[in-house]
C-alpha cells in the first residue's frame, strides 16, 4: 500500500516529533541517576547524599594523610573543605599534579563513610582550564 502524499507528510511529522520526545524522555531517564553531582566533604558529613550514587568530590588533600596500601597500587588520603573531611581510597596512577595540600576532584561513590574513587582529576594547568570547582581538571585513571 502506498501512503497518500498528504498523509505521508503528516506521518513523517508525527514520527519526527515522537522521536524528539523520545530522545528527551530517554535523556531525562538517563540523567536521573547518572549525572555526577559536585559534592564537598561537608555535604557528605551532613548526610545529604545517597550512598552508592556516582558523584564528584572536590576539596583539598590533607597534609600527611596520603598513604599507600601493601599492594603498592592502592592509595588512601583525606579530602577536606576546611569544615569536614572524608577518607578516600583510589587504585591507580594518580595525575602528576596530585599531591598533599593541593586541590583535587575525585569521581566515585560513598561506601560506608569512605569515598571510593574510580578517577582522580587534578588541576592540570590553570591556563587551559576553566575556573570550575578546584580549578577542575583533566581526568587520570
**Interacting residues toward another protein by CB under 8 A:** 1-6, 8-9, 12, 15-16, 19-20, 22-24, 26-27, 29-31, 34-38, 54, 56, 68, 71-73, 91-94, 96-97, 107, 124-125, 127-133, 136-141
Q: Smallest distance, Å, CB 127 to another protein?
A: 6
**What nine digits make up the cell of 41?**
566533604
Minimum Å gap between C-beta 38 and another protein is 4
**Closer residue to another protein, CB minimum distance, 27 or 46:** 27
CA–CA distance from 38 to each of 58, 69, 126, 127, 138 (Å)?
7, 27, 19, 22, 15
| Closest to another protein by CB, 114 or 140 | 140
Q: Which is it for strands 114-122 and 85-91: parallel, antiparallel or unpaired?
A: parallel
Q: What is the CA radius of gyration of the chain?
A: 22
Closest contact distance (angstroms) between CB of 62 and another protein is 18
Minimum CB separation of residue 137 from another protein in Å reads: 7
Cell of 99: 599531591
CA distances from 92 to 72, 74, 132, 141 (A): 10, 7, 24, 6
Nearer to another protein, 47 or 72 (CB): 72
Residue 78 or 109 having the CB closest to another protein = 109
Q: Confirm if 86 and 104 have CB atoms less than 8 A apart.
A: no
Amino acid at each position: 500500500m502506498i501512503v497518500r502524499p498528504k498523509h505521508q507528510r503528516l506521518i513523517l511529522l508525527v514520527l519526527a516529533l515522537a522521536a524528539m520526545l523520545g530522545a528527551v524522555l530517554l535523556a531525562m531517564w538517563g540523567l536521573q541517576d547518572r549525572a555526577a553531582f559536585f559534592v564537598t566533604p561537608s555535604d557528605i558529613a551532613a548526610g545529604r547524599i545517597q550512598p552508592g550514587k556516582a558523584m564528584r568530590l572536590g576539596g583539598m588533600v590533607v597534609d600527611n594523610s596520603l598513604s599507600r596500601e601493601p599492594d603498592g597500587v592502592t592509595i588512601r588520603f583525606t579530602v577536606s573543605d576546611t569544615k569536614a573531611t572524608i577518607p578516600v581510597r583510589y587504585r591507580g596512577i594518580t595525575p602528576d599534579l596530585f599531591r598533599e595540600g593541593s586541590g583535587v576532584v575525585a569521581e566515585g561513590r560513598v561506601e560506608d563513610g569512605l569515598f571510593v574513587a574510580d578517577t582522580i582529576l587534578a588541576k592540570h594547568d590553570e591556563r587551559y582550564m576553566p575556573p570550575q570547582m578546584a580549578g577542575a581538571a583533566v581526568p587520570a585513571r
